[in-house]
Amino acid sequence: MWFLLMFVVALLIVYMTHLVYRWNNPKCNGTLPPGSMGLPLLGETLQLFSSQSSFNIHPFVKKRMERYGPVFKTNLGCHPIIISTDSEFSHFIFQQEGKSVELNVWFMDSFKRVVEKLNMSVHKYIRNMVLGYFGTEKLKQTLLLEMEEMARRNIDIWSKQASVEVKEVTTTMAFGLASKKLFSYDQSKYSDNLKDMFTGFLQGLIALPLNIPGTAYHKCLKDKNRAMGVLKEMVKERLNSYASDHQEDFLDVIIGEMKGDDPLFDVEGATYLLFGILLASFETISLTLTLAIKFISEDPAVLKELTNEHENILKKRENVDSPITWEEYKSMTFTAHVIDETLRLGNINPMMFRKATRDIERNGYTIPSGWAILVCPPAIHLNPEKYQDPLTFNPWRWKGQGSSNTVSKNFMPFGGGMRLCAGAEYAKLQMSIVLHFLFTKYRWTKIKGGEIIQTFGVVFPNGLHIKVTENS
């Protein structure tokens, strides 16, 4: 009896040892990058949720860079993954879009299924749709004036309050304009606030992925489904009332495509497209503005340079109250440097996911088909070999580099390759206009807050509260 029991125990030990070995040594038709797969099933997921109160590279990534080098393997949430902190390797991955990699974002899986049977021309088509409505010509013709009116109206409201929390009010402002241009959103028609659903969804993205009632992640999924429900009803309603000779917003552009002879989208696909564009449009703007105001408040030299730049614009006008022109926007060179430096140091988009659709050979390593690939912009933006004193906020480092830095291998706040964000200029214009008014028509004083915690991104646990005052 004892012999049989010992034999069973031995078999279990051998079996478990084999499972652990297979976990730590995944199948690969070549050589995997160095790294650890962590614990069976859990991988290294728990280590990923460490946080810090600085803008440095996330501790999870930094420790593994020091141990394994710029490209390494791990397992997160039971998914094998390659993490790249190398600018050249990351650039290569972006260039493989539609060849050997594809987008891999969990909350857009349904949209991906809608278009995955199509070739990469669908992504070019969507990009052209977005550029047609939010690109440079539209910015010049109509959006510049609308952004100015939006900024004037909102900042005037801020100035009448004892203090405002910057992230909250800039989110309201950016969401208001984006939702208006996308689908003419009118909050008064709905019992629940769509903006609150989106912000709830975003907060859950940085939580431990436990889909259990009461957890932040569970609320994240609920908020996402509620938002999708509202957007889907909008698409259905517009589909039934669409008039081809009257286009009010971007949803009309989508519906026009759906009404064509060979439509790319159904209701679900159109809903996810709206969801993705709206999510990208307001969060980047609000978080970047909040960080910029924090950095500017803490640096008198930057504050002085910006004040001079914007006051000089007014001095050159015949009428100081004239609307902002495109030429004036393009003359805001130091403002552009401040925005670029905020994007670099703040790392608004800390993770970019792709998935290998076939084995990829690069630098002596193999990325197996089906593995996820995580490009880590913070490690690239904070590389001391590319940026002197990388943790120092220094807008002057961008002087003389022009606008080409937006698509540099070493600067990727708006993505890269075929998925370079089509709304980058839209975001920069809106931020520049808000800063213009804060340096000309108004002034602000920091009241409290401004501390940050970094996990998957930057959050302000105590907010950033300022007092906005109209110039006399």
* Binding-site residue positions: 421
What is the rounded distance in angstroms from the CA atom of residue 441 to the CA atom of residue 437? 5
Residue 240 CB partners (closer than 8 Å, separation 6+): none
In angstroms, the Cα distances linking 145 to 266, 274, 284, 377, 450 are 33, 23, 21, 33, 31
Q: Would you say 447 and 438 are in contact if contact means Cβ atoms under 8 Å apart?
A: no
Q: How many CA atoms lie within 13 A of 34 on its CB side?
A: 7
Whole-Å CA distances, 75 to 23, 208, 272, 335: 10, 15, 28, 41
Q: Which of 54, 275, 281, 282 is nearest to 168 (CA)?
A: 282
Determine which helix (DSSP H) or strand (DSSP E) holds 453, and give its type and residue range: strand 453-454
Which neighbouring-strand residues pair with 124? none
Q: Using alpha carbons only, what angle is made at residue 421 by residues 51 and 239, rounded to the nearest 5 degrees?
A: 110
Q: Taking CA 288 as the corner, what is the angle to CA 284 and CA 292, rounded to the nearest 5 degrees? A: 170
In degrees, rounded to 5, the angle at the alpha carbon of residue 460 between the alpha carbons of residues 378 and 286 is 75
Cβ atoms of 219 and 151 closer than 8 Å: no
| Cα distances (Å, whole numbers) of residue 243 to 88, 215, 240, 252, 359 | 48, 44, 9, 8, 47
Q: Quote the crossing angle between the two packed helices 216-241 and 250-258, to the nearest 10°.
A: 70
Residue 174 and residue 430 in contact, taking contact as beta carbons nearer than 8 Å:
yes
- For residue 140 the two structure tokens come to 């010049």
Q: Contact 348/452 with Cβ under 8 angstroms?
A: no
DSSP 353-413: EEEESS-EEETTEEE-TT-EEEE-HHHHHT-TTTSSSTTS--GGGGTT-GGGGGG-TT--T
Radius of gyration of the chain (CA): 24
The counts of H helices and E strands in the chain are: 18, 12
Reference 389, options 456, 336, 351, 341; nearest CA is 341
Query: Which H or E run contains 103?
Result: strand 101-103
Nearest to 144 by CA among 412, 337, 332: 332
Which amino acids are annotated as binding site for heme, given as ranges? Answer: 421
